[in-house]
Structure formats: structure tokens, C-alpha cells
């Protein structure tokens, strides 16, 4: 096991109607003037935004609204939010929405107290200072409600990059599974795929003897395999929504990743897909992961056999463990298909002609030096081969 630090100080408030307590928590964590950040339609139409506003007003907290966050959130709106925070002396950023809104809020919170261009953080500068952020989560997916991470798409060139720092971990996050019930099955499944992907990125490691984190990873995956088909069939199942929502947080606050090297090549490979085609991140990951697994499984057949047996319920083939490894990948594909995810370029709307450009950007774009991934180091040629497995 590697040495590590683990610090997840977010105050999680989980359950029915908890958004009505937002004002109380903003106050507890020092907010007096709030930037209320959100996307568009559903948060307004459902009455959620009104309920949050009422709760702020009840605590005499003032707020300014900044809506318009899009999936794969853009740098343009972040600049606008930073300007607002500075000119209006905002002291708290409150995100109402999914991972995109939360990531945008984190970028604004960090940029507002930084003299330079906030994009510096997305080129590798660690975030050490930010306004406090609170979240009211509406989609179980990105895990941004408990993570120190943010991913933003730069509009000049349409490439996605991530930034990180303990300062942008939310001070509090309100998780009400009811708020996720209106999500259509496709978006629900995209979110579920993202959650599982966060675990895969951590599961495939070269660090030996990390049984405890292996078991946590498996715990999240087994939960998802049980609960996701239930909500895809019945979006109103509160209990299944609740299990998925909490699993989504744990999948990405790094409890599943401490003490071990991690991979993250598949996220890099997917980020090009969603940046170029603006597809849902989870849908992109559904296409990328089985391809990546097929390309790298021979690097550690027994690890792939382990997940196949423990998570996918395969029988171990003691004579030919690679058969078990491949059967696990095959069951992942079947599972993704069963919940309505795309499995190839065509279903995703991606084009073969863009492969070279995407592989180039994934490996060399924005300061990278030609290699991605921790479990298996991939060069541009490897990334091209992985994209080709998705055709």
C-alpha cells in the first residue's frame, strides 16, 4: 500500500426534502452573499430553485443568480461568474444541479480569489484557495459533490481539462434522491456509467496488496449492478435512487482510491470524445472502457479475473485465467447495453476520421508530453488502437 492522506471534510446531508435546509447550511459555513449557479430548465421548472431561494431568504442570505451551465461546462460562463463574484463581493458559491454545474461553480470559486487567469488551474496549477462551495445535487454521476476536482471545456479549441485542490471540496452537499427521479433512463444510465468508471480508474492499479480498497471498489460496483437496472425500469424507485446517489459520492471522494496508483487514461480518452461531439460523458465512457480493457488486460490478467469473479459473478477458469478476464469484460458490455448505453462510435455519433486528431490531443494537448495512464502507459499509437476498437 502506498502512503497517502485522506481528507473528505464535506458535510453530507442526505434524504428527502433536505434542500429546504439549504439556507441553514450556507449560514453554518459562513455564506452571507451567494452566487446561485445552475443550468436551465428542469431546476427552474421543478420548483427546486424556488425552494432553495426561499430557504436562503429565510436565513436573510442575499443571492445573485447565474444560470445557463451546459453539460461539459464552458470556460465562458466561468469567466462571467468570476466577474460577478468580484464585482458583487460574493462570499459563497452555491451549485444547484449535476456535475457540470458543480464543476463550473468550483472553477468560479477558485477563480474569484485568484489574480491570474483561472485556466491556469486547468493547466496544472493546484488550487489552494477558493470561496466556499455548497451543492444541491440533482444527478448521481460525477461525484463532484464530494470531490476536490473540476472539469471544464475551454471554448477556444473545445478541449476538456481537469483541475484539483482540497480548497474546492464542497463545504456541504445536499443529496436528496427524490431530485434525481425526474431524470430520464438514458441520463440515469449515463450517470451510472460515470460512477462505475470512477471506480474502474482506481481498481486497475499496479500497487499490490490493497485489499481494503479493492473491496470498497467492488462494493460500489456490486451496488450499481443491483440498483441501476431497477431505476432504469422504474425511475421512481426511491430506495434504488438512494443507493446509487450515495455510491456515486463514495466512488469519487477517493475512499476507493487511497493507497494505490490509479489509471485515468480512459477519462482522458473520453474527454476528447465529449469535447469534440458534445456527447454525454457517461455515454462516452461506456464506449471507451470495454475497448480500453480489451487493449490492456494482458498487462495483469489476474486483476481482470478478480473483478470478473468478484463483481461480475464469473466462474474462475483456473487453467485459462484470460478466459475469465475476457468474460468479465464481456459481461460489462452486456450490462452497459442492457441499461441503454452505446457501445461503439456509430452509436455514440463519433467518426473514424477524427481518431488521429483526438489521440494527438489526448496525448499531447495542453501540456501533456505524449503518455497517459497509470496502470498501463499509453502512447498516441496505443490510443489510436483503442479508439479503433470502438469502431
**Chain contacts with a second copy (rule: CB under 8 A):** 1-16, 18, 177, 208-213, 215-216, 218-220, 222-223, 226-227, 239-240, 242-243, 246-247, 250, 255, 258-259
Nearer CB in complex with a second copy: 151/247: 247
In sequence order, which residues have a C-beta less than 8 Å from that of residue 243 and are 6 or more positions away? 223, 226, 227
How far is CA 120 from each of CA 117, 164, 186, 231, 245, rounded to the nearest angstrom? Answer: 6, 11, 34, 40, 32
CB of 110 to a second copy, least distance (A): 20
Contact 133, 144 (CB under 8 A): no
CB of 198 to a second copy, least distance (A): 14
CB of 226 to a second copy, least distance (A): 6
Taking each helix axis from N to C terminus, what angle separates 99-112 and 75-88, rounded to the nearest 10 degrees? Answer: 50
Element (H, E) at 168: none
Nearer CB in complex with a second copy: 145/382: 145
Nearer CB in complex with a second copy: 48/287: 48
Residue of 389, 391, 205, 383 lying closest to 291 (CA atoms) = 389
CB of 194 to a second copy, least distance (A): 16
Nearer CB in complex with a second copy: 68/235: 235
3-state SS assignment for residue 128: coil
Residue of 180, 177, 220, 182 lying closest to 202 (CA atoms) = 220
Nearer CB in complex with a second copy: 178/347: 178
CB of 314 to a second copy, least distance (A): 17
Nearer CB in complex with a second copy: 9/349: 9
Nearer CB in complex with a second copy: 199/325: 199
Contact 37, 81 (CB under 8 A): yes
Contact 253, 146 (CB under 8 A): yes
Residue of 197, 331, 332 lying closest to 257 (CA atoms) = 197
Residue of 143, 268, 264, 135 lying closest to 194 (CA atoms) = 143
CA separation for the pair 93, 133 (Å, rounded): 5
Amino acid at each position: 500500500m502506498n502512503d497517502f492522506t485522506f481528507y473528505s471534510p464535506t458535510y453530507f446531508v442526505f434524504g428527502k426534502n433536505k434542500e429546504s435546509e439549504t439556507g441553514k447550511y450556507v449560514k453554518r459555513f459562513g455564506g452571507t452573499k451567494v452566487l446561485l449557479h445552475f443550468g436551465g430548465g428542469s431546476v427552474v421548472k421543478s420548483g427546486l430553485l424556488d425552494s432553495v431561494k426561499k430557504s436562503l431568504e429565510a436565513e436573510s442570505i442575499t443571492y445573485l443568480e447565474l444560470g445557463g451551465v451546459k453539460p461539459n461546462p464552458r470556460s465562458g460562463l466561468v469567466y462571467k461568474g468570476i466577474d460577478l463574484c468580484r464585482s458583487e463581493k460574493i462570499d459563497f458559491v452555491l451549485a444547484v444541479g449535476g456535475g457540470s454545474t458543480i464543476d463550473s461553480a468550483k472553477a468560479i470559486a477558485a477563480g474569484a480569489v485568484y489574480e491570474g487567469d483561472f485556466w491556469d488551474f486547468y493547466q496544472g496549477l493546484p488550487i489552494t484557495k477558493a470561496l466556499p462551495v455548497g451543492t444541491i445535487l440533482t444527478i448521481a454521476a460525477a461525484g463532484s459533490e464530494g470531490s476536490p476536482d473540476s472539469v471544464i471545456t475551454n471554448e477556444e479549441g473545445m478541449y476538456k481539462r481537469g483541475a484539483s485542490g482540497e480548497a474546492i471540496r464542497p463545504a456541504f452537499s445536499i443529496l436528496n434522491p427524490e431530485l434525481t427521479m425526474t431524470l430520464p433512463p438514458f441520463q440515469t444510465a449515463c450517470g451510472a456509467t460515470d460512477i462505475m468508471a470512477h471506480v474502474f480508474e482506481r481498481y486497475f492499479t499496479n500497487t499490490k496488496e490493497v485489499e481494503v480498497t479493492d473491496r470498497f471498489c467492488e462494493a460500489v460496483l456490486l451496488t450499481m449492478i443491483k440498483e441501476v437496472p431497477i431505476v432504469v425500469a422504474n425511475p421512481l424507485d426511491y430506495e434504488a435512487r438512494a443507493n446509487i446517489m450515495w455510491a456515486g459520492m463514495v466512488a469519487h471522494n477517493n475512499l476507493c482510491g487511497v493507497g494505490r496508483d490509479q489509471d485515468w487514461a480512459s477519462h482522458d480518452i473520453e474527454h476528447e470524445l465529449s469535447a469534440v461531439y458534445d456527447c454525454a460523458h457517461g455515454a462516452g465512457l461506456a464506449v471507451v472502457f470495454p475497448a480500453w480493457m480489451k487493449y490492456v488486460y494482458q498487462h495483469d490478467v489476474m486483476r481482470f479475473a478478480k473483478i470478473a469473479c468478484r463483481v461480475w459473478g464469473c466462474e474462475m477458469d483456473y487453467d485459462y485465467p484470460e478466459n475469465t478476464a475476457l468474460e468479465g469484460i464481456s459481461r460489462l458490455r452486456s450490462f452497459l447495453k442492457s441499461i441503454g448505453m452505446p457501445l461503439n462510435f456509430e452509436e455514440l455519433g463519433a467518426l473514424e476520421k477524427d481518431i488521429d486528431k483526438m489521440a494527438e490531443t489526448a496525448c499531447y494537448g495542453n501540456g501533456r508530453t505524449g503518455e497517459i495512464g497509470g496502470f498501463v502507459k499509453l502512447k498516441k499509437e496505443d490510443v489510436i488502437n483503442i479508439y479503433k476498437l470502438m469502431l
